């Protein structure tokens, strides 16, 4: 979630994919896990973005200049609404992830005495 959060808040899904995290987020059961944690709206959004990733991922991930990278935001404007949705819901989604981790801490850390 940290990678998703940092990348999307900094530069949206285009940046997340360009920086090589598309496969990590969309080719793994991450959205299913979030759905199981109760973050149904976020999971649903990620399933939708996954379709765009499958369509545009190779074009976004190519090596390019800074100018070409910045042009991708206009070229792949289909991601804009999802970027906005993430930003609008970020605080609640982050709180939900934190709450889940707090309630299931034994699944995330091992405390040795």
Q: What is the CATH number of the domain that holds 49?
A: 1.20.1420.60
Total count of domains within the chain: 1
112 domain-assigned: no
In a domain, 80, yes or no: yes
**What is the mean predicted confidence (pLDDT) over 79-95?**
98
Q: Which of 93, 72, 108, 99 is nearest to 5 (CA)?
A: 93
34 in Cβ contact with 89 (< 8 Å): no
- Distance spanning both ends of the chain, measured CA to CA: 29
Q: Is the dihedral of CA 98, 78, 53, 13 positive or negative?
A: negative
Domain containing 34 equals 2-107
The answer to whether residue 81 sits within a structural domain is yes
Per-residue pLDDT tens digits for 38-77: 999 999 999 999 999 999 999 999 999 999 999 999 999 9
């Amino acid at each position: 979630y940290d990678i998703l959060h940092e990348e999307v808040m900094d530069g949206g899904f285009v940046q997340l994919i360009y920086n090589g995290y598309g496969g990590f987020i969309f080719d793994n059961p991450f959205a299913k896990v979030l759905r199981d944690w109760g973050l149904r709206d976020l999971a649903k959004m990620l399933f939708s973005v996954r379709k765009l990733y499958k369509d545009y991922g190779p074009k976004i991930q190519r090596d390019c200049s800074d100018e070409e990278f910045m042009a991708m935001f206009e070229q792949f404007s289909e991601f804009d609404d999802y970027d906005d949705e993430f930003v609008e819901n970020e605080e609640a989604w982050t709180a939900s992830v934190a709450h889940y981790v707090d309630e299931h801490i034994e699944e995330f850390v091992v405390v040795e005495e």
